Amino acid sequence: MTNRQSNIIFYSIISIIIYAIIINFTHPDFFVDLSKSKEEISIKEAMNNEEYMQALVIYQQLVQKKLSDDSENSVELAIIYEDMASLHSLLGHNAEEKKYYLKSLAIKNNLKSNDMFGFAKTYYKLGLIAEEERQFDQAQMYYEQSLLKRLGDTKKVDEQDQGIITGMHQSRLSYIRLNNEATIATFIKLAIIHSIKEDDDIAKKYYVKALAASKITFGEEANQTLAIMESIKQLSP
């Protein structure tokens, strides 16, 4: 290969890289969309146009495609079911929303997934549906499962994900899992459920947990913290 040919190849590669950088800057979804299937791109377009029923039809096509590929227990199918549940929530279809969250949950359990936060989110969503349907015992069970997944055996999860961790890292992880918006919301939901069931002592315990976490997460003067304090006052005799 001559020097001239080498230079042509070199500058061609540089031109391609520069072009790719420009495309990525001006059209950030370009390369993402290239990795997506035709159905996924069509779903995105339907959602952007608020054509939710059309998006559901395409999701069903994706489900059939996964099932025909013997992927009934794949992570991808669990994600599709979660997306379909969220879409049914937008449409106010509680029964369908619940059905698809349960389908996703079943796959995660079959796969013995280590995605504890994913489990926690799904259980929380199921709790919201049960609470809306005034099935308070079921809502309590789902919220408790959500909390268990979020605050459960953190050591086991992190040894699988990150290798052996030190006690200091473990404490920090527990701190992060406890003091975050999702955990606080679950504490509050459990407090509300127990308050409805007239278990005021238990309700107050959950509010106190939520308050402690809220002070750290949002600050002592934050609206979220003040609202929890007011809820505790209303429970006090």
> Per residue in 114-149, pLDDT tens?
888 889 999 999 999 999 999 999 999 999 999 998
Mean pLDDT lowest among 44-58, 72-86, 168-182? 168-182
Q: What is the dihedral of CA 206, 141, 175, 207, to 10 degrees?
A: -10
Q: Would you say residue 155 lies in a domain?
A: yes
Q: Would you say residue 157 lies in a domain?
A: yes
Cα 106 versus chain centre, distance:
16
The Cα 110–Cα 60 span in angstroms is 21
Q: Would you say residue 98 lies in a domain?
A: no
Q: Would you say residue 24 lies in a domain?
A: no
The Cα 191–Cα 213 span in angstroms is 14
Cα 66 versus chain centre, distance:
22
Number of folded domains that form the chain:
1
Q: What pTM did the predictor assign?
A: 0.73
Structure tokens at 51: 């054509």
Asked if residue 158 has pLDDT above 50, the reply is no
The Cα 77–Cα 219 span in angstroms is 39
Asked if residue 157 has pLDDT above 80, the reply is no
Mean pLDDT for 72-90 is: 88
The Cα 68–Cα 62 span in angstroms is 10
Q: Would you say residue 203 lies in a domain?
A: yes
pLDDT of residue 154: 42
Mean pLDDT lowest among 14-23, 40-49, 72-81, 207-216? 14-23
Asked if residue 233 has pLDDT above 70, the reply is yes
Q: How many CB atoms lie within 10 A of CB 103?
A: 19
Q: Would you say residue 233 lies in a domain?
A: yes
59 with 67: CB under 8 angstroms? no
pLDDT of residue 31: 41
Question: What is the band of 28 on the pLDDT scale with cuts at 50, 70, 90?
Answer: low
Q: Would you say residue 236 lies in a domain?
A: yes
Question: What is the band of 75 on the pLDDT scale with cuts at 50, 70, 90?
Answer: confident
Q: Which amino acid is at 177?
A: R
Structure tokens at 97: 């929303």
pLDDT of residue 177: 66
Show the domain range for 172: 147-237
125 with 145: CB under 8 angstroms? no
Q: Would you say residue 168 lies in a domain?
A: yes
Structure tokens at 159: 């040894």
Tell me the HSE value of 118 on the side-chain side, using a 13 A CA sphere.
Answer: 20
Listed residue (145, 64, 75, 63) closest to 110, CA to CA:
75
